[in-house]
Chains A and B, each alone.
Chain A
Amino acid sequence: MLISTILSEEKPALVAIPVTIAAFAIAPSTLPESIGISLITVLMYTILALSWTMFSGPTGYISLATAGLFGVGVYTTAFLRDSLPLEAVVLLGGAAAFVVALTIGLLTLRIKGVYFILFTFGVAALMRTSVQWWETHINGTVGRHVTAATNETVYLLLLIIFAATLVAAFLLRHASPGLALLGIGENEDAAEHVGVNVTRLKVLTFAASSVLMGMTGAVMATRFRYIDPSIAFNPLISFLPVLMAILGGVSKLYGPMIGAAILVALQEFLITEYPYVYLLIFGLTLVVVVLWLPGGLVELAQKGYFRLKIQWIKLRMRLTRFRRTRQAKRR
């Protein structure tokens, strides 16, 4: 059932997904080095935006806990970097994020709508402030140094996580859990009535998508080299994936990826010299997208394409009419 629908309906995706992964794989060696470095950031945010969309896209539950789950990964690396191989640390970072997300999920079972948004925001903030307090008052330190990994290693690990994210997100869209998640987004009670185990599905999807966030954090720690709670749990890491996803549009897999590329480009241009301008633009974009671009750029492009198509058909009709009248005149 699954394979046959994919084969019949999603042929372009079957080509597009391997092509995207391959493009990212050869990009660093073909592009100039300055752009190649930013690709790490692009990959990081693409993974975060895609994994955020896996849960929040279909269900409509907007999570602002991303920074917390990312930070768990970062701190896993900070503690274990020198005692275990990096691959194992990354897996452990994902596992730690899974456990934290599972706890958050179980706690928020009854919380809906704006309360869910606020709760997830509060959890990430609580993690940031408590780690801050714990580090300064118990360990007597502000931040930690992390043994760096080469850019190639970081990129390769992120690429693997990215490929896993893309495949997982694609399968989720077509497997029955994905449809059930959409059902939850439409009407949670109705989904429950038709036999969806709403609680289990919500919590597990949230936790599973968090594994990707934790692993990304674990990899990125080796790139940051120095970390402290305000870097690891930076609230912006919660907000950016949300904006990237809704700016691009959650209806297609490439929506969040487009959003991530645009915002990372903006960030690379502005953040070092004009951080306030960057965040100002970020806020304005958030307002504008929610107000006037509810389907994101994907929907905008689809609408534009549709309009162009209509214009084209109209033009052709006029042309035929013109030809006919001319022929009639000649006769």
Chain B
Amino acid sequence: MIESAIDIVITGLILGGLYALIAVGLSLQYGVGRVLNVSHGEFIILAALTTYSLYTVTGIHPLVAIAFIAPALFVVGFVLDRTIFNDLRRTSVNEDHFEGRSLLVSFGLLFVIQNLMLMSWGAGLRGYSVLNTPVEILGNRYGLNRVIALVVAVTASVGFYLFIRHTRVGKAIRAAAERPDVAEALGVNRKRVLAICFGLGAGLAGLAGVLHSMMFDIQASRGIELTVIAIVVVVVGGLGSITGSLFGGFLLGLVIAVVNFIDPSLSLVAFYLIFILVLLVRPAGIFGRQIHAD
């Protein structure tokens, strides 16, 4: 009993680290750029499938693959914001109008990316095993890959927090999120900051995708579930709050671990139930508009 309780907690932590990372990317894109990017999960799956192919075909280790998958997706995100979302921003009458339109466009991107992936990788499950030597923690055994994934996810989140908090670009991002007009008057290039934010969000999705592929089998059509997870975590943890995302991520990871323990077939029902409950209980309230440094 105690062992399975510990197992649930540790599994929850491992899931939670990944969830937090997924959420930080989304909250950056929505918190600063006001783009509620529902194709976020698609970016994650794209990175995961690319990692899978790199590993199985060329033998490049996933942890090495991070070094170029994340930057590549950063560029994709940067360009997307510079072209599509910048255009939308220019032609929308107000912020609500922009939010609605950008949500529809990102649903369009979801269909585009998902079906490009289905065309290249097919609909089946794709998986590989790497670093799966068992590690014993408090009487339960876990694959080394999962532990490494947790460590990388938490390190990346903390590193990202330090980046937002202390670097020049990080300060510009916070300024642009808090008072876009004032930031612009003080010489922040808003367009570039927004593009950087969207790029960073996509880059974090890339990192999360690599880690995801190390832990689970991947299916091209299941990106939307990751997006739903990210939205739940962001609403629970607070928009743009990185510690909040970590907290929300671990909380959701724990809940999902409990559900999986009781009946794994209920996990999808649980996802969507939590999703709409969270939207109901905390509509807009917790979605402030700031990128905090806490």
Contact = CB atoms under 8 A, between A and B. Distances in A.
B88 A114 contact: no
B275 A114 contact: no
A136 interface: yes
- Point out which of B103, B110, B228, B231 has the most chain A C-beta atoms below 10 A from its C-beta: B103
B119 interface: yes
A78 B201 CA distance: 44
Contacts of A110: 283
A34 to B, nearest CB: 27
Instruction: Name A's interface SS.
Output: helix
Contacts of A169: none
Interface string A258-286: 00000000000000000011011011111
B31 to A, nearest CB: 13
B105 interface: yes
Contact of B273 (A115, A126, A136): A126
Q: How large is the interface on A (under 10, 10 to 19, 20 to 34, 35 or more residues)?
A: 35 or more
A122 B279 contact: yes
- Point out which of B101, B105, B272 has the most chain A C-beta atoms below 10 A from its C-beta: B272
B268 A129 contact: yes
Nearest to B117: A276
Contacts of A325: none
A280 B272 contact: no
Interface in B109-129: 109-116, 118-119
B60 to A, nearest CB: 27
A239 interface: yes
B123 to A, nearest CB: 9
B226 to A, nearest CB: 14
Interface string B225-240: 0001001000000000
Contact of A282 (B36, B111, B269): B111
Given A280-B111, A287-B108, A118 B231 contact: yes
B233 to A, nearest CB: 14
A115 B232 CA distance: 12
A136 B263 CA distance: 13
A117 interface: yes
A143 interface: no
Q: How large is the interface on B (under 10, 10 to 19, 20 to 34, 35 or more residues)?
A: 35 or more
Given A60-B100, A280-B111, A287 B84 contact: yes
B17 to A, nearest CB: 24
A111 B282 CA distance: 10
A239 B107 contact: yes
A126 B231 contact: no
Given A126-B273, A137-B265, A111 B283 contact: yes
A219 B104 CA distance: 29
Contacts of A32: none
Interface string B78-119: 000000100110010000100111011101111111111011
Contacts of A280: 111-112, 115-116, 119
A107 interface: yes
B276 interface: yes
Contacts of B275: 118, 122, 125-126
B71 to A, nearest CB: 25
A123 B276 contact: yes
B151 interface: no
A59 B133 CA distance: 57
A129 B269 contact: yes
Nearest to B101: A290
B284 interface: yes
B269 A133 contact: yes
Given A111-B283, A112-B284, A242 B104 contact: yes
A75 to B, nearest CB: 17
A244 interface: no
A216 B107 CA distance: 25
A105 to B, nearest CB: 13
Contacts of B99: 113-114
Contacts of B118: 276
Nearest to A284: B112
Contacts of A112: 96, 283-284
B167 to A, nearest CB: 30
B280 interface: yes
A112 B96 CA distance: 9
A239 B266 CA distance: 25
- Point out which of A60, A130, A291 has the most chain B C-beta atoms below 10 A from its C-beta: A291
A60 B92 CA distance: 14
Nearest to A130: B269
The 5 closest A-B pairs by CB, nearest first: A283-B111, A286-B108, A287-B108, A283-B112, A126-B272
Given A113-B100, A114-B36, A129-B268, 13 more contacts: A111-B283, A118-B36, A119-B279, A122-B228, A122-B279, A125-B272, A129-B269, A133-B269, A283-B111, A284-B112, A286-B104, A286-B111, A291-B87
7 contacts: A114-B103, A115-B279, A115-B283, A133-B269, A242-B104, A284-B112, A291-B87
